[in-house]
Amino acid sequence: MIKSKLMRWFLCLMLMTTIVTGLVGSQLAFAEEDSLTLSTDYPILKDAVGGSFSFSVSMEYKGTQPRVFDLSTQVPVGAAAQVMSSDSKEIASIRIDPSIFSRNYVTVIFIPNFRRTAEPGEYKMALNVKSGNLSQSIELTAMITAKYGVHFEPQSGMFSATITAGQDNHLAIRVMNQSTVPLESIALTIGAPDGWGATFTPSKIDSIPANFEVLADAVIRPPKNTVAGDYQIRINAESKNASDSQTMRLTVETPTIWGWVGIIIVVGVIAGLGVIFRQLGRR
């Protein structure tokens, strides 16, 4: 009888121990499940200089209760970053309910250099998310590529000019490097009507720094016998990475001396006709 009672007490004790151990273990297991995972489908974005970079970051929180997470960013000197909510509001914290079925998303807008044009290269930043002793960070990279562009226009700003036939006419042309890097070996050419002289001085520019310009002299010489009127030329600038082509309208005038010669000829013809008519009238 006593042995039977002892056996029952022993079994009850074992059962209680098992239950308590299970409860404690489950609580520890739940505590161990508090976790935060940050991820993005595109951790590296590439673009030309002049734009910002937008990263979509998902936050997956597993835990026993809702948490408020503080959001902060680490960026290079001169750079800027903003964390935006799904409704496009800038935020510094976010409340997340624990769930294994859904994720929260934020958008990180990264401007590698908001004061001036950033040089081509890699720019790294980090998004930090923290609540108490639970924290995670994710690295985001913006790859900036060089932007190339060359443009030119007459110094006067007008793509039309008046020139004289039979002589050199000089047009000052501004050649502008609109790239974010220096442009090398820019060739300058002119497409003009047959028989015209059309050259650039210099005909080749060795280098133009980014966002600088060089003045070139376009020399146009129509033949002496060119009929007065409007003509078109095409000026071209070309380098390895960029090119530009513009059309100019040129109004050709004959030299003043030829104008006087023409007037004298006309007057002579009229005078001659007058003499002839007088002689015929006398007859």
Question: What pLDDT is stored for residue 3 in this prediction?
Answer: 56
**What residues does 134 pair with on adjacent strands?**
131
DSSP assigned state of 32: H
Distance separating alpha carbons of residues 128 and 136, to the nearest angstrom: 6
Cα 106 to the chain's mean position, in Å?
A: 25
Question: What pLDDT is stored for residue 30 in this prediction?
Answer: 44
Provide the percentage of residues in the chain whose pLDDT is more than 90.
64
Nearest to 149 by CA among 244, 50, 259: 244
What are the structural domains of the chain?
34-145 (2.60.40.10), 150-254 (2.60.40.10)
Count other Cβ atoms within 10 Å, centred on residue 259: 12
Question: What pLDDT is stored for residue 257 in this prediction?
Answer: 55
Taking phi over 0 as left and psi of -120 to 50 as alpha, with beta for the rest, 121 belongs to left
Nearest to 74 by CA among 131, 36, 130, 133: 130
Instruction: Supply the pTM of this predicted model.
Output: 0.61
Distance separating alpha carbons of residues 104 and 86, to the nearest angstrom: 9
Residues (pLDDT < 70) of the chain are 1-33, 50, 100-101, 115-116, 256-263, 266-267, 271-272, 274-275, 277-283
Question: What pLDDT is stored for residue 118 in this prediction?
Answer: 75
pLDDT in tens, 50-62: 678 999 999 999 9
Question: What pLDDT is stored for residue 254 in this prediction?
Answer: 86
Q: Which helix (H) or strand (E) holds 80?
A: strand 80-84
Question: What pLDDT is stored for residue 29 in this prediction?
Answer: 44
Question: What pLDDT is stored for residue 9 in this prediction?
Answer: 58
